Amino acid sequence: MEIIIKDLKKTFGEKVAVDIPALTIRSGELLGLVGNNGAGKSTLFRLMLDLIKADTGTVCMKAGSPLPAPPLGECSSAAAPSALPFSENEALPQRGSGEGAGWSGEAINVAETEVWKDWTGAFVDESFLIDYLTPDEYFHFIARLTDTSDEQLQAFLDEYQHFMADELAGQKKLIRTLSAGNKQKVGIMAAMLLQPKVLILDEPFNFLDPSSQNAIKHLLQKYNKKTGATILVSSHNLQHTVDISSRIVLLEHGKVIQDIDNREHQAQSILENYFEINE
Amino acid sequence: MRLPTMNKYTLYKLIARNADLKAERHPMLDKNRFMKFLMAFMWLYYAAILVFLGVVMAMGMKYSYNGVAAFHVFDGGMLWLLICDFWFRFVLQETPAQNVQPYALLPIRRSFLMNVYLARAGLSLGNLYWGFLLVPFALIAIVIPFGWLHSFGWLLGWWLLLVANGYAYLFCRALIMKHLAWTLLPAVIHGALIAIMLVPDKNPLDMPCTLFMYGFFKWAVLPFLCTMAVIAFFYWANYRLQMGMVHDEVAKKEDRELRHTSELSFLNRYGKLGEYMKLEVRQRMRNKSVRMGFLIGLGIMLMFSLVMYFSDVYDNSIMRSFICLYNYVILGMMTLVTIMCYEGNYIDGLMSRRESILQLLTAKYYFNVLLLLIPPIILLPLMIIGKMSVWMNVGYLFFTAGVVYPMLFQMAVYNDNTLPMNTKMTGKQGNMAQQIISMVILFLPLGLEKLAGLLLGEPWGYVLLAVMGIVGLATHRLWLRNVYTRFMARRYKNMEGFRASRQG
C-alpha cells in the first residue's frame, strides 16, 4: 500500500507542525521517521490516520507496486468509492482479498472515507487502548472487529508469546494497571493483529526493556518481509531506526529535512552528524 | 547545610493560589470563553433565584402563620436545606486527598497540606452561597422586626451549620471513595430524617430545629458550642481518614487482579455489535464514575418509588406522572447526557476502526433500551395498589425508548469533553447543553402527556406517547446513522476537545 502526501500543512496557532509539499511512501517500505521533540512526527501520524484536520493538503492511500517508486499519484474525492462520505454505500474490501477501493489502484483520501481503516493498524499513544479491558479481552475485541477468527487470534498470540513474556496473555489484570511497557506491547500487538497493509507506530521502543526492544525490531522486519506491508515507525532511538528502516525521513519543524535511502544502512553517519552525537 | 525554608503563610498562599488556578484552568472551562461566561451566568442565575426565594419565603411566611415569626417557620425546615446542601456538594466539591496528591513528592509536610485544604474547605466561599437565600430572608424577617444583632447571630449560626455540613460531606465522600457502599450512610440517615419529617401528620423535628436555631438568634452559647464541637469532630475525623486516603491516591491502589471476569459469551452471537455491548457492560462494571452514576440513578428510582408507596405526599396527578417518567429516564439520563464523554478516553482507538462509532452508538441504544426493563419491575407494586396506571407505564416506556433516547443521543454529536472513568467523581462534569437537555427531557414529556390527556382524555394521552415512542424505536437505525454522520462531520472538533480535556 502506497501513501501519498501532497501539500500537507498543519499549524497550531503560529507554530507550523507539519509542512510537507510532497512525500510518497512506497508500498512495502519500512520508513523510519526521526527528528527532535516538536518536529511534527506524531502530528504527521495523526494526520495520516485522519485524527486531526489538515489545514491544507491530502493524505492518500493507494495499492502500489513495490520499489522503485511510481510517479506521484493524484488523489481526490472523485477517486473515493462513494460520493457521500461515511455512508453505508462504501465498498467494503475484505481483508487481504485485494478487492475494493484502494486495492484496485484508486487513491483514497483518508479524510473522505473510512475504507482504509480496514487495512491500517496503528498505535500512537494510550488513547488507542480501552484500559478497562484485560489484554485478552482487548485482543478479542480487536479480533472480532477485524473478522479474525478465534483460531487466527490464538495463532497470533502464540507467535507473539515471546514478546508478551508471560505478562499479558491469560492475566486478569486490566490494561490500566499494567506497566507503561506492557501497555505499549498491548498497543503494538493490537495494531498488528489485523495483519495490516499499513502499520503506523509512534515511538514503539519507548518504555520497553532491551529484550522487548530487540524483539519488536525483529517482529517488524519479519512482518515487513513476510507481508510486504508498508510500515512507518517514528523513534528517538537512532540505532534501532537505522537497523530496521529501508528509508529514513528526517523531520524538523514540520518539514522534511532529509530523505535518506537506508537499504545499506547508510543513514547512520548522516543522522549522527545531524544530531551531533559524536561531538 | 540548612536549606532556606519558606514560612508557612507564604506556603499557604502558594498552595491556595495553585488550588485557585486548578479551578480556573479546569479543562471544561479552559476550552472556551463561552463556557466561562455560561458558568458565571448560571452562578448569577441561581443566586438570583435564591434571593427571590428568600424574599418570597420571608413575605409568605409572615402572612401565612400569624403569631409565629417567619424565621421560626423557616428554621423548622432547616434540615431540608442542610440535606440539599449536602448532596449538591457531590458535584461541586473535591476532597483534600485528591488535591494533596501533586505535592506528595515535594518537601512539604503532608499534615500541613491536609490542614491547608481542610481549612480552605471550611472557609470556602461556597459555604456562603446559601447567603443569597438567607441574607434577604434575614433582612425582611429578622432585621426589620427584631434588629441587626439577632440577625447576625442567626446568620452566623447558619454559616457554622453549613461549615459543619461541609465537613460531614467531606467525611462521607472520603468513605465513599474507599467503598461505594458507604453511600448508604448519608442516604439512610437523610432518608430516615425525610421519613420522620414527612410521614407523621406533624413533623416531630420541627420544634427541636426551631429551638436550636432560636439559640443562635438569641446568641445563646450552647448552640454555638454544639455546632463548633461538631465542626471540630468532623475536622479531626476528616484529618485522620483523609491522611490515609492520600497514601492510597499516591500509590494509586487498585485491585491488581480482577476477582471475577465474565466472558459475556452470550453476546458473541451478535458479532461486532455484541462486542460493543460487552464494552457497555464492562464500562459500567469496572469504572467507578460510571458505576456510581448508574447506582445513583437506581437509588433515586427506588427512593421515589418507596416514598410514593408508603406515603401520600406524591399522590397527585403531576407528581405521579413525574415520578413515573423520572423512573424511566433516569438511568439513560445519568449516562446518555454525557454520551461519548467516557469514550473520549480512547477515542483515537475507536476512530481508527471503520464505522466503530456507529456500532458503538447502536450498542449503547440497545443496552439502554434493555435497561428500560428495570423501571416496570420497580414500579409494579405501585401499579398493583393502583397508585400508577399501567397505561402510564406503557406510555412512558415507549416514549423514553423512542423519543427521549433519540433526543439524548443528539448529544453524541456535540459532547466533546472527556470525563475520567475511574477517578472518583470530581466536580464540573457537565456543560450547559447537557444540563439544558436534562431539563427538556424531564419536563417536555409531562407537558405533552398533560396536553394530550386534556384534549383526548385518559388513557389516550399515554397512547399518544407510546405511539410516538414506537415510531422512534422502529426508525432507530435511521436516526442513529444520522447522528453518526453528523458526528463524523464534526469529528475533528470533537476529537480535539476530547484530547484537550483528557486528564492524566
What is the DSSP secondary-structure string of B283-319? HHHH-HHHHHHHHHHHHHHHHHHHHHHH-STT-SHHH
Flag whether pLDDT at B364 surpasses 80.
Answer: yes
Residue B72 binned pLDDT confidence (cut-offs 50, 70, 90): confident
User: Any idea which residue has 446542601 for its cell?
Assistant: B85
Cβ–Cβ gap A52/B258 under 8 Å: no
Q: What CA–CA distance (Å, rounded) separates B318 from B327? A: 14
Contact A173 B257 (CB under 8 A): yes
| Residue A119 C-alpha, separation from nearest chain B C-alpha, in angstroms | 10
Q: Does A134 contact B261 at a Cβ distance shorter than 8 Å?
A: yes
- Tell me the nearest-neighbour CA distance from A129 into chain B, angstroms: 6
- Which of B278, B286, B495 is opposite residue A174, by nearest beta carbon? B286
Minimum CA–CA partner of A173 in chain B = B257
pLDDT for A104 equals 54
B357 touches chain A (CB under 8 A): no
Indicate the SS3 state at residue B205. coil
- Is A124–B348 a contact, with Cβ atoms under 8 angstroms apart? yes
- B345 touches A at CB < 8 Å: yes
Q: Give, in degrees to the nearest 5, the angle at Cα B310 between B305 and B311.
A: 100
Q: Is A85 on the interface with B (CB under 8 A)?
A: yes
Residue A75, all three cell numbers: 488523489
- Which of A125, A132, A146 minimises the CB distance to B286? A132
The predicted model gives B104-115 an average pLDDT of 80
Q: How far apart are the first and last CA of chain A?
A: 40
The reported pLDDT for the residue numbered B20 is 77
Give the residue, A276 or B118, on which the prediction is more confident.
B118
Cβ under 8 Å to B: A residues 146-205: 146, 171-174, 176-177
Does B502 touch chain A if contact means CB atoms closer than 8 Å?
Answer: yes
Please report residues of B whose CB lies closer than 8 A to that of A120: 352
Do A144 and B481 lie within an 8 Å CB cutoff? Answer: no
3-state class (DSSP) for residue A224: helix
Residue B455 near residue B383 (C-beta atoms within 8 A): no
Q: How far apart are CA A27 and CA B354, in angstroms?
A: 22
- For the ranges A41-45, B260-264, B368-372, B404-408, the lowest mean pLDDT is seen at B260-264
Residues B153-174 pLDDT 10s = 999 999 999 999 999 999 998 8
Closest residue on chain B to A110 (Cα)? B352
Question: CA A81, CA A100: separation in Å to the nearest integer?
Answer: 8
B476-489 and B491-501 helices cross at what angle (nearest 10)?
Answer: 70
Q: Find all residues with CB under 8 Å of A171, minimum gap 6, and list them.
A: A134, A135, A136, B257
Could you check whether the bond before residue B204 is cis, i.e. omega within 30 degrees of 0? no
B279, B346, B487: best to mutate for the A interface, most A CBs within 10 A: B346
A108-109 β-sheet, strand order: A15-25, A2-12, A56-62, A108-109
Contacts of B422 in chain A (CB under 8 A): 132, 176
Q: b vs e for B439-477, b when ≥16 Cβ sit within 10 Å of the residue's Cβ?
A: eebbeebbebbeebbeeeeebebbbbbbebbeebbeebe
Residues of B in contact with A150 (CB under 8 A): none
At residue A9, the 3 state secondary structure works out as strand
> How far apart (Å, rounded) are the C-alpha atoms in residues A244 and A32?
8
Comparing CA positions, the residue from B86, B114, B331, B308 lying closest to residue B189 is B86
Tell me which residues of chain B, numbers 228 to 247, contact chain A at a CB-CB cutoff of 8 Å: none
Query: B503 — contact with chain A (CB < 8 Å)?
Result: no
Supply the DSSP symbol for B424.
Answer: -
Q: Give me the residues paired with residue A233 across strands.
A: A32, A201
Burial tier of A41 (Cβ tally within 10 Å: 0-12, 13-18, 19+) = buried
Contact B354 A115 (CB under 8 A): yes
> How many contacts, defined by CB atoms under 8 Å, are there between A and B?
88
pLDDT of residue B342: 92
Residue B108: count other Cβ atoms within 10 Å of its Cβ. Answer: 16
pTM, rounded to two decimals: 0.75
pLDDT at A28: 93
Q: Can you tell me the mean pLDDT for B260-280?
A: 86
| Structural domains for chain A | 2-274 (3.40.50.300)
Mean pLDDT in each 10-residue stretch from start to end of chain A (279 residues)? 94 93 94 93 95 95 60 44 41 41 70 93 94 93 91 91 81 89 94 94 92 92 93 94 94 93 86 76
Interchain contact, A130 vs B258, CB within 8 Å:
no
Q: Chain A residues with CB inside 8 Å of B256's CB?
A: 173, 177
Binning chain A into helix, strand and coil, the percentages to the nearest 5 are: 35, 25, 45
CB of A86 within 8 Å of a chain B CB? The answer is yes
Question: Would you call B352 and A49 a contact, using CB atoms and an 8 Å cutoff?
Answer: yes
pLDDT beyond 90 at B317: no
Is B433's pLDDT higher than 50? yes
Q: Cis check for the bond before A21: say yes or no (omega within 30 of 0).
A: no
- Cβ contacts (< 8 Å) between A171 and chain B: which residues? 257
Domain boundaries, chain B: 8-251, 266-501
Which has more confidence, B254 or B330?
Answer: B330
- Could you give the CA distance from residue B456 to residue A237 in angstroms, rounded to a whole number? 75
CA B245 → CA B69, B174, B176, B258, distances in Å?
46, 8, 11, 22
DSSP B4: P
Longest dimension (CA), chain A: 58
Which residues in chain A are closer than 8 Å to B353, comparing Cβ atoms?
117, 145-146
Residues of A within 8 A of B354 (CB-CB) are: 92, 114-115, 117-118
Listed residue (B222, B203, B199) closest to B212, CA to CA? B222
What is the three-class DSSP state of A234? strand
